[in-house]
Amino acid sequence: MNATTAQPTTEELLARGWAALPPGYRIPEVVPTLDEARAYCRQLAESHYENFHVATWFLPKPLRPHFHSIYAYCRISDDLGDEVGDRDVALALLDLWGRELDACYEGRARHPVFVALAETIRACNVPKEPFADLLVAFRQDQTVTRYATMDEVLGYCRYSANPVGRLVLYACGEVSPETKEEKFRLSDATCTALQLANFWQDVRVDFAKDRIYLPQDDMRRFGVSDETIAGGVATPEFRALMRYEVDYARSLFERGLPLIGRVNRDLALDLDLFSRGGLEILRAIERCDYDVLGARPSIAKRTKFALALRALGGKALPFLRLGPKPTGKLA
């Protein structure tokens, strides 16, 4: 095999990947202190995701570093898979990140995310599984671009979304042998619903990356093809498909809502905020008559502000009033 056809080495793939990502993502030569690592995670969390920053308002101060470290892990893991533009490079980076996760659990953390995460893992007794599951999803995104059935989509969400909810429950001290399975079941429903709401909001964005999360059998049943999405025109058939998928996502939100009444008050505020935000995405899709191809439906800033104010107001309300109305719809 000559030099022009030789496959790049792992080291070459990693070098390409780090060159395409922010410099701060690289593994440093000197292991940071815990304070330095926590500052790194806090800055990453608060500069990348407005809704996450709002949500941390409702958390007791001692819990915030744990949420910052979990978010930083999720953020960088996602970027390693989605921001380098090359499947082989992304897989090499994700494999390295997985080895760093193993090292973290073995007491050999090097990256600031894992230095901070090691303390979260120790303090909150978090198992490796949910962190490792997320990497399964990010690897899958490199090789799977279509899903035959909704069961396959839900299987993807089991790795891409549900681990996040479980990590939050661990961080907030909400996992016990007596309530673990019920809380995980309700959390999984909420997290999957949030993932689906984002998928339906981003059909056009994902298609530009050659990904379609709409189940292929549902598309066939409603008479929608890849060409329909590529055309960018929301046909009556496409709108009917989106109506069906939006209704299904809403049913999952409603299934998960009882979790709000089964967790501590501070976490309940966050769950209330994110559930209402997810339901508002579905409403935004409905308001544009299910046309997610012409423009990406979004929540207006004033609506986000109103949701945050409503959640903040909940601090002064009896706990039972924190949840949504019995219909499960936004007020």
CATH at 159? 1.10.600.10
In a domain, 4, yes or no: no
Residues 46 and 150 in one domain: no
How confident is the model over 133-150, as pLDDT tens digits? 999 999 999 999 999 999
Residue 137 has a pLDDT of 96
**pLDDT at position 298, please?**
81
Residue-range definition of the domain harbouring residue 237: 145-320
Between 93 and 57, name the one with better pLDDT: 93
State the DSSP code for 7. P
- Distance, in Å, from the CA atom of 312 to the CA atom of 300, rounded to the nearest integer, reads 19
Q: How far, in Å, CA of 66 to CA of 124, rounded?
A: 9
Any domain includes 271: yes
What is the predicted pLDDT for the residue at 319? Answer: 26
- Residues 138 and 178 reside in one and the same domain: no
| pLDDT reported for residue 4 | 56
Q: Which of 143, 174, 193 is at the close of a domain? A: 143
C-alpha torsion 303→307→312→313, nearest 10 = 90
Domain count for the chain = 2
Mean pLDDT for 222-236 is 97
Q: What's the mean pLDDT when you consider all of the chain?
A: 87
Whether 22 and 150 share a structural domain: no
Confidence of residue 51 (pLDDT cuts 50, 70, 90): very low
User: Which of 191, 158, 218 is closest to 229 using CA atoms?
Assistant: 218
> Is there a single domain that holds both residue 34 and residue 127?
yes
| pLDDT > 90? residue 29 | yes
Confidence of residue 45 (pLDDT cuts 50, 70, 90): confident
Q: Is the pLDDT of residue 300 over 70?
A: no
For residues 55-68, give the mean pLDDT: 77
Task: Output phi, psi for 116, to 5 deg.
Answer: -70, -40
> Computed from CA positions of residues 44, 48, 53, 56, in that sequence, does the dihedral angle turn out positive or negative?
negative
Whether residue 190 sits in one domain with residue 270: yes
Assess whether pLDDT exceeds 50 at residue 176: yes
Q: What is the DSSP string of 74-120?
A: HHHHHHHHHSSS-HHHHHHHHHHHHHHHHHHHTT---SHHHHHHHHH
Q: Work out the average pLDDT over 184-200.
A: 96
- Whether 182 has a pLDDT exceeding 50, the answer reads yes
Report the candidate in 161, 324, 194 with the shortest Cα–Cα distance to residue 258: 324
pLDDT at 277: 87
37, pLDDT greater than 50? yes
d(CA 201, CA 282): 8
Q: Cα–Cα–Cα angle for 239, 245, 250, nearest 5°? A: 125
pLDDT band for position 61 (cuts 50, 70, 90): confident
Place of tokens 């990406």: 296
Same-domain check for residues 167 and 305: yes
pLDDT of 317 > 90? The answer is no
Residues 310, 199 share a domain: yes
> Does the residue 218 lie in any domain?
yes
Q: Which of 93, 114, 143 represents a domain boundary (last residue)?
A: 143
Mean pLDDT along residues 61-84? 92
Q: What is the pLDDT of residue 328?
A: 33
d(CA 324, CA 271): 11
- Report yes or no on 331 lying in a domain: no
Instruction: Give yes or no: residues 152 and 299 share one domain.
Output: yes
Pick the more confident residue, 73 or 315: 73
- What pLDDT does 316 receive? 32
Q: Which helix (H) or strand (E) holds 232?
A: none
Do 56 and 197 fall into the same domain?
A: no
Of the two residues 157 and 310, the one the predictor is more confident about is 157
| The Cα angle at residue 244 between residues 241 and 247, in degrees rounded to 5 | 150
* Domain assignment of residue 68, yes or no: yes
Q: Same structural domain for residues 127 and 151?
A: no
Mean pLDDT check: name the lowest of 112-116, 163-167, 176-180, 317-321. 317-321
Q: Is residue 330 part of a domain?
A: no
Decide which of 77, 111, 143 is a domain's last residue. Answer: 143
- The answer to whether position 329 is within a domain reads no
Q: Say how far apart CA 49 and CA 136 lie, in whole Å.
A: 23
Q: Is the same domain home to 73 and 152?
A: no
At residue 119, what is the residue type? E
Based on the fold, state whether residues 160 and 81 are members of the same structural domain.
Answer: no
- 301 versus 154: the higher-pLDDT residue is 154
What mean pLDDT do residues 18-26 have? 94
pLDDT of residue 283: 95
Mean pLDDT, residues 218-237: 97
The one-letter amino acid code at 264 reads N
Report if residue 327 sits inside a domain. Answer: no
The label of the residue with tokens 């309940």 reads: 268
- Distance between CA atoms of 175 and 166, rounded to whole angstroms? 9
